[in-house]
Amino acid sequence: MWIYEKKLQYPVRVDGCNVKLAKYLITQYGGPDGELGAALRYLNQRYTMPTGKTKALLTDIGTEEFAHLEIIATMVYKLLKDATVEQLKKEGLGSHYADHDRAPFYMDASGNPWTATYIQTKGEPIADLTEDMAAEQKARVTYDYLINLSDDPGVIDALRFLREREVVHFQRFGEALNDVQCFLNEKKFY
């Protein structure tokens, strides 16, 4: 069961229309290291986790990733909503306009659609939690690159928040991995 909360996790303010920036940001919506993949990866891995702690953590981080997905969508929505067709064409979103108008869509920065091949569930907690730690680092680096590409102070502020969350999630997954390793070692002695 999920409940929607009618607010953003973190406030989003943008300076104005910025098609080029929206085109870059969309990768964290539906790209290889984006928030959609993160949410779906963690929520799908929950079912085969061995401990209450790991089931809770994957549920809670997976849910937070949906809040991040909404933050990215909000940035893209605000950056594109006043763009003219001319601007969209000039900044490389003419083909996006043809398929989606100004709506966000699950794709990377080059327009490739999201695919389930971005994520994996091995059904084995050590393998899955290790993938999750790597995923958080890749997302963190993507935010570093997006901050470097950004010229909008409001967007940079929100990206910094999202980047920091990747660091915290990495830390928590590391703790969970340690815990599972102890749990599995203990089990062997019985």
Enumerate binding residues for another protein (CB under 8 A): 3-12, 53, 56-57, 60-61, 64, 70, 73-74, 77-78, 168-169, 172, 175-176, 179
What single-letter amino acid sits at 144? D
What single-letter amino acid sits at 122? K
Least distance from C-beta 175 to another protein, angstroms? 4
- By C-beta, is 4 or 190 nearer to another protein? 4
Tell me how far apart the alpha carbons of residues 21 and 3 are, in angstroms, rounded to a whole number.
31
Least distance from C-beta 99 to another protein, angstroms? 20
Least distance from C-beta 172 to another protein, angstroms? 5
- By C-beta, is 41 or 169 nearer to another protein? 169
Residues 6+ apart with CB under 8 A from 84: none
- By C-beta, is 64 or 128 nearer to another protein? 64
Least distance from C-beta 164 to another protein, angstroms? 10
Nearest-CA neighbor of 62 among 147, 124, 119? 119
Residues 6+ apart with CB under 8 A from 102: 77, 80, 81, 83, 88
